[in-house]
Amino acid sequence: KAGVTQTPRYLIKTRGQQVTLSCSPISGHRSVSWYQQTPGQGLQFLFEYFSETQRNKGNFPGRFSGRQFSNSRSEMNVSTLELGDSALYLCASSPLGGYGYTFGSGTRLTVV
């Protein structure tokens, strides 16, 4: 079966712009989590959605937002981009949340 698909794979944006990243979970998975990976911080939890509702949120500013659609696909939006937002953004899906996550390959965002 198809894995978790993240688009685009690479993105270059300018400071102050906004960006939207997309994640298509494994068919049947209803939980989608987003993580930011940077060299020094490792994987940091952004938020988790289940059945179109945000269930958990990490310690990121309000510029980071997300949503989930009825087909479980999820989008993450970052507004007013800063240089420090440059990172690999990973999406993971699981049937109900918690364990059994499958990760996508990520979207590499570079802010210049």
Partner 1 sequence: DQQVKQNSPSLSVQEGRISILNCDYTNSMFDYFLWYKKYPAEGPTFLISISSIKDKNEDGRFTVFLNKSAKHLSLHIVPSQPGDSAVYFCAASEETSYDKVIFGPGTSLSVIP
Contact flag: residue 90 with partner 1 (CB under 8 A): yes
CA-CA distance, 23 to 73, in Å (whole number)?
6
Question: Which residues within the stretch 1-60 sit at the binding site for partner 1 (CB under 8 A)?
Answer: 4, 31, 33, 35, 40-45, 48, 50, 55-56, 58
Tokens of 108: 């590499």
DSSP 8-state code for residue 26: P
Distances (CA, A) of 19 to 33, 97, 99: 18, 26, 29
Minimum CB–partner distance for residue 82 and partner 1 (Å): 21
Q: Which residues bind partner 1 (CB under 8 A)?
A: 4, 31, 33, 35, 40-45, 48, 50, 55-56, 58, 90, 92, 97-106
